[in-house]
Amino acid sequence: MTRIRIHGGRVVDPAEGRDEVTDVVIVDGRVDGFIGQEAGGEFDRTIDAAGLVVAPGFVDLHCHLREPGFEDKETIATGALAAAAGGFTTVCCMPNTNPTLDTANDIAFVYARAQAAHGARVLPLGTITRGQQGRELSDASELAGAGVVGFSDDGRPVWDGRLMRYALMESLRHKKPIVNHCEDPEIADGGVMNQGRVADLLGLKGQPATAEDVMVARDIELARETGGRLHLAHISTEGSVALLRMAKRDGLDVTAEVTPHHLTMTDAWVLGQRNGKASGRPYDTATKVNPPLRGESDRQALVAALAEGLIDVIATDHAPHRSIDKDCTYDEAAFGISGFETALGCLTRLVDDGQLTMLDVIRRLTWEPCRIFNLPYGRITPGLPADIVLFDPRAQWTVDAARFHSKGKNTPLDGETLRGAVVATLVGGDVVYERGTV
């Protein structure tokens, strides 16, 4: 029997409504209970959490681990470790690999790799359409049986409304979310950043916000008609927020996520202006992401929607790339930000600015994602696996992308100073990450 004690930390667990300084006892990988700081007992290891927040491990519903097929960008092993370094204990990986995750065999491969990895738990999504080609539906029953947590063609939208309608119908049977990347490709028209003042100034092709809005509207109406289970990936616009408000008001089975970068950055970053200061450089390809960084009014609408609980969860859309995918012109550069290891730091900034509470942030990173994807994690509850993160909400650190555990060093935050540092991450009671030791 292995007994671990997490000693002296402030335990914050939104699911249990707990926010108190107490010790957590873990026995054989599961939470055993809580004891007072002064209580005695024999432990194999006592982890000092004085001054730290002890929270359920973060759960990311949206990331790209690139394996199979793009192992030079990331592997399940490097991704799982990078996730743990960011405080994540469970991450759901998108199936836009090569081959795409279309069959039970593909899913078994991911689980086998995840088993061998040291870090966060990895749970795959399957494709909505075979090969993400948007022509015929994947075998959702087979994929559900193999253990996918949801379905997505992420990276590209399900453009064909008829297929999306059928996919939502199928979700009535397997009860798993259909996760759509909402982007009307004709309206987006190959845009490489947000359509707006900055795109006009830089002469870069913009994607209008309406490219996202119209597909969010379509999917919500299809969810209304079918009763299907719709989850909107990485919403980024004021318009999507308004549509989500309508969907929730009408009681539809619709949920949504937002990324740390859309909550904290705008298209001004593409111009080299960060937080009102000219501290970056124009055309920095690290800012290229899809959906693109939007305008300030979009960002504010997203933060407000998260604060009021309209947006259900925060998801990273961790999208690692090689340096050569970014060391090129803005038009040529790959879309994506390596997000695991800066997520907490980004979100702490919003807490420091008074726009969100730490309890909100933790809730949207733990209990809420588990609730909407029906995962048995996201809380510190006796009997459940001890998936726990310890972080210092006040610690300042400077982002050095070269030291990321992820293979993807692509972040616009390189060199920025953030507050909020992960100190240790436990998955099933195993310390899979400790700051300074990995």
Partner 1 sequence: MNAVIESAEHTNGATNGVAAAPIPWAGRRHVLDLNDFSRDEVLQVLETADRMKEVLARPIRRVPALRGRSIVNLFYEASTRTRVSFELAAKTLGADVVNVSATGSSVEKGETLLDTVRTLHALGADLLTIRHSHSGAPYTVAAHVDVPVINAGDGTHAHPTQALLDAYTIRERFGRVEGLRVVIVGDIAHSRVARSNAWGLHLLGASVCLCGPPTLLPPTTIAPAAEPPWPVEIDMDLDHAIADADVVMPLRVQLERQEGNRLASLRAYARDFGISRQRLARAAPGAIVMHPGPMNEGVEIDADVAHGAQSVVQSQVTNGVAVRMAVIYLLMAASQVGSKARAPAQHDRGGRREPQMEVRA
From 36, 40, 203, 383, residue interacting with partner 1 (rule: CB under 8 A): 203
Active site residue 317: yes
Taking CB under 8 A as the rule, does residue 72 contact partner 1? no
From 98, 133, 329, 396, residue interacting with partner 1 (rule: CB under 8 A): 329
Taking CB under 8 A as the rule, does residue 195 contact partner 1? yes
The least CB distance from residue 278 to partner 1, in Å, is 5
Q: Which residue has the tokens 């039970």?
A: 104
Q: Looking at the chain, how many residues does it have?
A: 438
With CB under 8 A as the contact rule, which of the stretches 142-150, 164-172, 270-278, 297-305 interacts with partner 1? 270-278
3-class DSSP state of 6: strand
Which of 102, 317, 325, 392 is flagged as catalytic?
A: 317
With CB under 8 A as the contact rule, which of the stretches 111-119, 204-212, 236-244, 254-262 interacts with partner 1? 204-212
The least CB distance from residue 322 to partner 1, in Å, is 12
**Pairing mode of beta strands 3-7, 10-13:** unpaired
Least Cα distance to 272 among 282, 287, 285 occurs for 282
Task: List, in sequence order, the alpha helices (H) in 180-289.
Answer: 185-188, 197-202, 209-226, 238-249, 260-264
Taking CB under 8 A as the rule, does residue 162 contact partner 1? no
Name which of 196 and 385 has its Cβ closer to partner 1.
Answer: 196
Name which of 60 and 284 has its Cβ closer to partner 1.
Answer: 284
Distance, CA of 337 to CA of 409 (rounded, Å)? 8
From 70, 88, 109, 283, residue interacting with partner 1 (rule: CB under 8 A): 283
Taking CB under 8 A as the rule, does residue 331 contact partner 1? yes
Name which of 177 and 196 has its Cβ closer to partner 1.
Answer: 196
Name which of 76 and 286 has its Cβ closer to partner 1.
Answer: 286
| Cβ atoms of 239 and 301 closer than 8 Å | no
Taking CB under 8 A as the rule, does residue 398 contact partner 1? no
Adjacent-strand bridge partners of 124 = 93
- In this structure, what token pair is assigned to residue 368? 């809420």
Taking CB under 8 A as the rule, does residue 361 contact partner 1? no
The least CB distance from residue 284 to partner 1, in Å, is 8
Q: Which residue has the tokens 């297929």?
A: 163
Q: Tell me which amino acid residue 353 is.
A: D
With CB under 8 A as the contact rule, which of the stretches 27-35, 70-78, 143-151, 326-334 interacts with partner 1? 326-334
Name which of 38 and 186 has its Cβ closer to partner 1.
Answer: 186
| Alpha-carbon separation of residue 291 from 21, 106, 147, 208 (angstroms) | 40, 27, 28, 10
Taking CB under 8 A as the rule, does residue 400 contact partner 1? no
Q: What is the H or E stretch that residue 372 is in?
A: helix 367-373
From 279, 374, 396, 417, residue interacting with partner 1 (rule: CB under 8 A): 279
Q: What is the H or E stretch that residue 107 is in?
A: helix 104-116
Taking CB under 8 A as the rule, does residue 281 contact partner 1? yes
Residues 414-433 that bind partner 1 (CB under 8 A): 415
Residues 6+ apart with CB under 8 A from 262: 234, 235, 236, 291, 293, 294, 298, 299, 302
With CB under 8 A as the contact rule, which of the stretches 142-150, 201-209, 359-367, 379-387 interacts with partner 1? 201-209
Taking CB under 8 A as the rule, does residue 324 contact partner 1? yes
Task: List, in sequence order, the alpha helices (H) in 227-323.
Answer: 238-249, 260-264, 296-307
Name which of 172 and 328 has its Cβ closer to partner 1.
Answer: 328
Taking CB under 8 A as the rule, does residue 201 contact partner 1? yes
With CB under 8 A as the contact rule, which of the stretches 118-126, 265-273, 366-374, 418-426 interacts with partner 1? 265-273
Q: Tell me which amino acid residue 248 is.
A: K
Name which of 106 and 298 has its Cβ closer to partner 1.
Answer: 298
N- to C-terminal Cα separation, the chain: 25
With CB under 8 A as the contact rule, which of the stretches 58-66, 107-115, 203-211, 256-264 interacts with partner 1? 203-211
Dihedral of alpha carbons 264, 268, 272, 275, sign: negative
Residues 6+ apart with CB under 8 A from 437: none
Distance, CA of 389 to CA of 370 (rounded, Å)? 16
Q: What is the largest CA-CA distance in the chain?
A: 66
Residues 6+ apart with CB under 8 A from 329: 283, 285
Name which of 189 and 225 has its Cβ closer to partner 1.
Answer: 189
Name which of 134 and 282 has its Cβ closer to partner 1.
Answer: 282
How many residues form the binding site for partner 1 (CB under 8 A)?
A: 31
What residues are annotated to the active site?
Answer: 317
Residues binding partner 1 (CB under 8 A): 189, 195-197, 199-206, 208, 271-273, 278-283, 285, 324, 327-332, 415
